Amino acid sequence: MPSSPKLPRIFHSHPNPTSSLASRTLLLVLLLALILLSLVLAGIALTRPLESNCNFKPRSVSVVWERRDGDGIIGRGSGEGEKRRKVMGFVGIFTGFGSVGRRKALRETWFPSDRQGLERLEEATGLAFRFIIGKTSDGKKMSDLKKEVAGYDDFVLLDIVEEYSKLPYKTLAYFKAAYALFDSEFYVKADDDIYLRPDRLSLLLAKERSNPQTYIGCMKKGPVFTDPKLKWYEPLSHLLGNEYFLHAYGPIYALSSSVVRSLVALRNDSFRMFSNEDTTIGSWMLAMNVNHENTHALCEPQCTSSSIAIWDIPKCSGLCNPEKKMYELHQMEICSKSPTLQPDD
């Protein structure tokens, strides 16, 4: 009779109570260590963005046109008491409430559209850029501007009514505000309808100069307009004679720090205000011991290997159709991608 098959031998293990307890304890310690490490890493991740952006608060600020304490110095509406930001050049892009399309075109071409882009441009060129705008009694326009400021955070808001006929007042307010906010070697005024090469502007401002009081621009002279029907009519023409003195075109020019410091020191009501901004600034420069530095690269009608600012001179005081022309120029390699060259001495 055949033998029955052998069944597999089954072994039963009986765990040691002491070793089981040690294993559970080790697992608990490891779990607690992982939780602690996760909390530390999360804390670092949360604080790092704040640290990297701390230098940009506030990027957009409001400033007061005039204080009634006799000194006429612009005060900050926010960030009061903070140190002036150190840059080589501060560039204020003059804009208005009807220029939403222009700002959009700039942000999609040569002007950075976010904080990181502005930071990179500042690090590369030493130049800080902001849009400069006043205020209006139109609640809808102010509401729209508030949303744009919140979205892009690239404005300096002046506590002065935004009105073209008051452009000389806005310009003085701008220079005083810029000086209060930035410790800069040069302060540049530019319009929102020019195509600009920030890299080349940086090289121009960085040049060695023997006279610390410098007025840089594309210089011109011209007739004083006495006919009220003309666009550039000057009501105070009897003080000027038949021809304007040497002065820079309005779309872009720069004043050195010592020049702006002198403007800041004077009371606002001590300045002679002509009808046009460029001639008003030019008249102030005549009263100061400044060097008029004529730079035609700031008023080129087309892009070249050395152009800094491009606009449709003399047909328009800027690009004639900036919202369209800005894109067209940016798509041209000679405008946007040509090498940065050292400026001529």
Kindly tell me if the per-residue pLDDT of 309 is higher than 80. yes
Kindly tell me if the per-residue pLDDT of 158 is higher than 90. yes
Kindly tell me if the per-residue pLDDT of 35 is higher than 70. no
pTM for the full predicted model:
0.79
pLDDT tens profile 178-224: 999 999 999 999 999 999 999 999 999 999 999 999 999 999 998 88
Dist CA 295 CA 253 (whole Å): 9
Helices (H), 86-138: 100-107, 115-125
Give the orientation angle of helix 322-330 with respect to helix 100-107, to 10 degrees: 10
What pLDDT is recorded for position 10? 36
Read off the pLDDT band of 233 (50, 70, 90).
confident
Dist CA 58 CA 153 (whole Å): 8
Dist CA 318 CA 194 (whole Å): 5
What pLDDT is recorded for position 112? 95
pLDDT tens profile 94-136: 999 999 999 999 999 999 999 899 999 999 999 999 999 999 9
What pLDDT is recorded for position 301? 97
Kindly tell me if the per-residue pLDDT of 57 is higher than 60. no
pLDDT tens profile 310-332: 999 999 999 999 999 999 999 99
What pLDDT is recorded for position 45? 45
What pLDDT is recorded for position 7? 41
Kindly tell me if the per-residue pLDDT of 71 is higher than 90. no
What pLDDT is recorded for position 9? 40
The single-letter code of the amino acid at 331 is: Q
Dist CA 201 CA 93 (whole Å): 14
Question: How many C-alpha atoms does 180 have within 13 Å on its Cβ side?
Answer: 26
Dist CA 34 CA 32 (whole Å): 5
For the chain, give the mean pLDDT: 84
Quickly count: other Cβ atoms within 10 Å of residue 340's Cβ.
Answer: 14
Q: Which residues of 249-279 are buried (b: 16+ CB within 10 A; e: fewer)?
A: bbbbbbbbbebbebbbeeebeebebbbbbbb
Kindly tell me if the per-residue pLDDT of 44 is higher than 80. no
What pLDDT is recorded for position 289? 87
What pLDDT is recorded for position 51? 37
